[in-house]
Amino acid sequence: MTAPSKPVLLTGASGNLGRHLAKTLAEKGWTLRLTDIAPFPDPLPAGATFVKADINDGVALLRQAEGCAAILHFGGVSTDQPFETVIGPNLRGLYHVYEAARREGARVVFASSNHSIGFHERPKGNEAKLDYDCAFRPDSYYGLSKAYGELMGRMYWDKHGVENVNLRIGSCFPKPIDRRMLSTWLSYADLTRLVERCVVAIHAGHAVIWACSNNPASYWGKDHRDRIDWTPLDSAEPWRSEVEAITADPVSERYQGGGYTTSEYSRKTPSPRDAFDLEG
């Protein structure tokens, strides 16, 4: 597959997923501009440059985005954290990303998360899986920031024509490590192929992709993967015998967001499946 003719900016380059993408995309001949608030911990890949910067600094981000074909936005807070920790990088920082994309005519690939919909219950039996247009039901301030990010992408598409692909990442690790990941796991190789297709696809518009591998137990259904011609090749099933154990927490087991739903959880009974109903 031909590498993009223009540079691609990768935020969050020093994180686990950023480091993987920096390595694998550089190996494909991409010209990368890497940035993170933390130093880049690995040898710099061929064809890549790194600038240490805070995405709260809009001017710095604008400079890095000059002449770029796309912005892979993997920066910001990436775990369940208090609101004051999340608000700066995940809300203000995202605004700076979209302003840079608007100015440069660049496509945004946004590392969203399954935690934007984490309080949907896990499907049972033949119950329908969630489609891309399901209601947001964030399970944490982190998940709330990802819902905000997807909505910002929709606004910038409607108002400015900025193309964006929102990757609702499940659980991206070298292998599944618990029972929930039989449904949510995304292999590193499938992540690279997905990001590659997001950038090189001719048209993206405003798209939502359930970013998980080809897992038969997946919670998720329809999305826009056909638009970018992506099919996951890996599966969590080979690890089923290793991770079949169920956790002892009924809240974690009930909802798609798993452990994130239990943080500061104070309800006495579960919320209804329809968020606007009084009774479940």
Query: Phi/psi of residue 107, each to 5°?
Result: -85, 140
Phi and psi for 185 in degrees, rounded to 5? -65, 140
- Whole-angstrom distance, CA of residue 271 vs CA of residue 280: 7
CA gap 23, 181 in Å, rounded? 25
Q: Which of 217, 221, 84 is nearest to 141 (CA)?
A: 84
- Tell me the sheet residues that pair with 167: 111, 209
Average pLDDT of the chain to the nearest whole number: 95
210 bridge partner residues = 168
Alpha helices in 161-205 (DSSP H): 181-184, 188-200
How open is the CA angle 254-219-132, to the nearest 5 degrees? 120
The predicted structure's pLDDT at residue 220: 98
Q: In this structure, is the dihedral angle defined by the CA atoms of residues 82, 85, 89 and 91, taken in order, positive or negative?
A: positive
pLDDT at site 39 = 97
Query: What residues are annotated to the active site?
Result: 142
Domains, the chain:
8-262 (3.40.50.720)
- Which tokens hold the place of 101? 């994309």
Phi, psi of 130 (to 5 degrees): -75, 135
Residue 122's φ and ψ, nearest 5 degrees, are -70, 135
User: pTM score, two decimals?
Assistant: 0.96
**Residue 231's closest CA among 197, 257, 202, 181?**
197
Q: How many Cα atoms within 13 Å fall on the side-chain side of residue 162?
A: 28
Q: How far apart are CA 24 and CA 184, in angstroms?
A: 22
* Residue spans of the chain under pLDDT 70: 279-280
pLDDT at 279: 67
**Which residues, in sequence order, are CB contacts of 180 under 8 Å at separation 6+?**
171, 258
Asked if 122 and 142 touch (Cβ cutoff 8 Å), the reply is no
Kindly state the tokens that stand for 187: 């292999």
Residues 44 and 53 sit within 8 Å (Cβ to Cβ): no
